[in-house]
Structure 1
Amino acid sequence: MPSETRLTTDRIRLRSMEDRDKEHLLRLFTDKEVMKYYPGVKNERETQEWIDWNKRNEKGYRVSLWIAEDKRTGEFLGQCGIVPQKIGNEVYMEIGYMFARRHWGNGYATEAARGCLDYGFNACQYGKMIALIDPENTPSIRVAERIGMAYNRTIEKRGKPLCVYERKSSD
């Protein structure tokens, strides 16, 4: 049974994450270059926990990180979506994106992130959305800036500094 399509862009289909995506996600999560700005690579158990977390987000918030596929061929590209992030005492909706290295430089992250931003503002009526980015992760910062996000502040989360990029629906 095909997964539910959450949104599409010119080249990308974003669909709900399922257990059958574990193999693709595991390849993504074990690529040291892809995971360079994250606490570390993920093993099979952690990848399944990631899928389960996204399923819970989908159920509870109606958003999650979704599987990004080439709309024409169905090829796995990576993941992109919207997830809740707690900063201090507040929960913000974050746009997250991670693509397989072989697809870097093709504009997929920007295209998918822009689609998620539009979805968050229009379908979900979020007033503000954020992206949490390692200060050294220049490519991710460029994606956030290309979709109209601006640096707001640096916070400490998961034991490291993260830049908060944000955009309000009125921007």
Structure 2
Amino acid sequence: MEIVYETERLYLGVFDESHAEAMKTFWGNEDVMKFCDGATKHEKFPQIIKIYREIHQTNDLSVYAVQEKASSMIIGAAGFNITKSMEKIELIFHFSQSTWGKGFATEAVIACLNMARKDGRVSVITASADPRNLASLNILEKVGFQYKGTKWFDEIQQEEPYYEYHLL
């Protein structure tokens, strides 16, 4: 795995084909993805890996595999969906259920904010979560995202709490 960022307990790195099995524990898990329109079909993982690798190659920021240093296990994904420009990007994070409550998501989100700050092109990071996903909403508020109200999302046909983090 090509490591792009390191924290005390984690590596964030570019997804590769060896991560497909681990992806089943977060993106492929119904419990983890219950607030995100359900689990992703496992046969889509190679395509997801390819897309996030290409986004990284094009933008130097992407969604990354999160590896716990102590176990060397891929425990989740964190990073940025980049659609129109680098000025305003969306933060996402998903972690294996076995890691919940251990601070890994918060640590990875802080790492992502540091990567965006270092990049220099990002002005605003957006994030949202299902209103029932209190753990994710708490992480956003804990690391300094500002609640901006609710916003309708066509792709999931749902209104969600919407947050922004301003770098500039």
TM-score by length of 1: 0.88
Q: CA deviation at 1:91?
A: 7.1
1:90-169 correspondence to structure 2 within 5 Å: 92-157=88-153, 158=155, 159-169=157-167
- Which moves more between the two structures, 122-131 or 92-101? 122-131
Give 3-state SS (helix, strand or coil) of 2:26's partner. helix
Separation in structure 2 between the aligned mates of residue 18 and residue 99 of structure 1, nearest angstrom:
17
RMSD of aligned residue pairs (Cα, Å)? 2.0
Show the 5 A alignment for 1:70-89.
Answer: 70-85=68-83
Which runs of no fewer than 5 residues in structure 2 stay unpaired? none
| Identical counterparts, % of pairs | 22
Cα distance in 2 between the residues matched to 1:90 and 1:58? 12
Distance between the aligned counterparts of 2:64 and 2:86, measured in 1? Answer: 23
Deviation at 1:8, TM superposition (A): 0.8
Partner of 1:42: 40
Task: Name 1:29's counterpart in structure 2.
Answer: 27
Structure 1 residue 85: deviation in Å? Answer: 4.7
- 1:48-70 CA deviation, whole Å, 9 max, x = no partner? 22212211211222111111111
Q: Is the 8 A contact 1:133 1:165 kept in 2?
A: no
**CA distance in structure 2 between the aligned counterparts of 1:14 and 1:156, rounded to whole angstroms:** 30
Superposed displacement of residue 90, structure 1: 10
Residue 110 of structure 1: CA displacement?
Answer: 0.4
Hey, what's the Cα distance between the residues in 1 that align with 2:70 and 2:89? Answer: 29
**1:84–1:91: 8 Å Cα contact kept in structure 2?**
no
Higher deviation after alignment, 97-106 or 131-140 = 131-140
What is the TM-score when the length of structure 2 is the normalising length? Answer: 0.89
How many correspondences in the alignment? 166
Query: Is 101-110 or 48-57 further displaced after alignment?
Result: 48-57
Runs of 4+ in 1 over 6 A off after TM superposition: none
Residue 44 (structure 1) shift: 2.0
